[in-house]
Amino acid sequence: MAVTTITSGLKVRRYSRKFFKEYVRESLFGPYMGESENDVIYVTKELEKGAGDNITYGLVTELKGDGVEGDDTLEGQEEALGNYDDTVTVNQLRHAVIVGKMEQKRTLLEVLDAGRERLKKWCMAKLRDLIIDRLECVNLDGVTTFGATSEADKDAWLTAQTAGSVDRILFGTLFSNLSAGDFSASLLNVDTTDDTLDRTILGKMKRMAKNADPHITPTMVKGPSEKYVAFCGTNPKRDLDADLDTVHQDAGPRSRPRTTPSSAMMTPTGTTSSSGRSRRWCPGVPSAQARRPSTPW
């Protein structure tokens, strides 16, 4: 009798696909990733079947004109579409463990399964750190990390974000904490007493996002509700939890058991707050390692 054996190559391929889906889904940013334009982090698969090492995205802004009414002439009243582009470069990141066949026979442990779990956790941590590094990148090359960015580039970025009608940066609690064109001086106006993350800061960030020009698009949840998402480090999340503790206690009937806030939490300001392990990226709160302003993404 001949028994069919699946080749190792096919097994590895299936293993690889399942592994990728698992570590992306279970990562900190997994709930915010997807292929819909409504997802906070847009995932594209355009290069899976075609050649290329980069993808250029186009962003078309909202129309702001009043249009015309009645029999008024429309020709000549058209509005130009604002548009921007951004290029994402694709790269490959890999890691592996190896166990010899004899080593596998010497133990009852499922060594390969254990290695698979360790690799998944490694990939989840790398994905988290890479996303955070890119979110806090102020250099237009999209690669230089915040820590490696020169003061001149930080100042230029700050100027670009606050020039004219553009107002996208909040240092701590007060708008006046901003020192025009000077990133370091602005950070010196932030302290750990008056500028810890709370719903007041989140509310200001949301208003800034809604009034920004070009607009910062919210994410749509079930129904007509619009939400903005704020990612923050562990310490700012701790401060926000403390600020919202009373609100959560009074939110429902006293007879209901109190639930512990999860790492992702809806706030009264209509903003979703989600925390990660990184202390490097702490909107609104200075830390021992680095100080970052609040940015309404």
- Summary mean pLDDT of the chain: 74
Q: Assess whether pLDDT exceeds 50 at residue 30.
A: yes
Same domain, 193 and 212: yes
Checking 137-142 for CB contacts under 8 A at 24+ apart, the result is 142/86, 142/88, 142/89
217 against 21, higher pLDDT: 217
Q: Assess whether pLDDT exceeds 70 at residue 47.
A: yes
| pLDDT confidence of residue 209 | 87
pLDDT grade, residue 177 (50/70/90)? Answer: very high
DSSP 53: S
Question: Are residues 218 and 226 in contact, defined by beta-carbon separation less than 8 angstroms?
Answer: yes
Task: Say what angle helices 199-211 and 234-249 make with each other, to 10 degrees.
Answer: 100
Mean pLDDT of 237-245: 87
| pLDDT confidence of residue 32 | 87
Q: Assess whether pLDDT exceeds 50 at residue 168.
A: yes
In 3D space, the residue among 123, 118, 152, 148 whose CA is nearest the CA of residue 133 turns out to be: 148
Same domain, 128 and 166: no
Tell me the CA end-to-end span of the chain in Å, nearest whole number: 63
Q: Whole-angstrom Cα distance, residue 256 to residue 272?
A: 23
| pLDDT confidence of residue 263 | 45
The region of weakest confidence among 19-23, 42-46, 108-112, 137-141 is 108-112
| pLDDT confidence of residue 283 | 38
pLDDT grade, residue 279 (50/70/90)? Answer: very low
251 against 40, higher pLDDT: 40
Mean pLDDT of 111-135: 82
Same domain, 128 and 153: no
CB atoms < 10 A from the CB of 278, how many? 21
Same domain, 229 and 119: no
Q: Whole-angstrom Cα distance, residue 208 to residue 119?
A: 40
Has residue 223 been placed in a domain? yes
The pTM score is 0.68
| pLDDT confidence of residue 278 | 45
In 3D space, the residue among 68, 136, 117 whose CA is nearest the CA of residue 281 turns out to be: 136
Amino acid identity of residue 282, one-letter, is C
Q: Assess whether pLDDT exceeds 80 at residue 34.
A: yes
Has residue 296 been placed in a domain? no
What the block records as the tokens of 129 is 């750190």
Same domain, 269 and 168: yes
Same domain, 153 and 217: yes
Mean pLDDT of 263-277: 52
Mean pLDDT of 48-53: 70
CB atoms < 10 A from the CB of 190, how many? 21
Same domain, 20 and 131: yes
Domain that holds residue 246: 146-251+260-275
Same domain, 129 and 190: no
| pLDDT confidence of residue 142 | 72
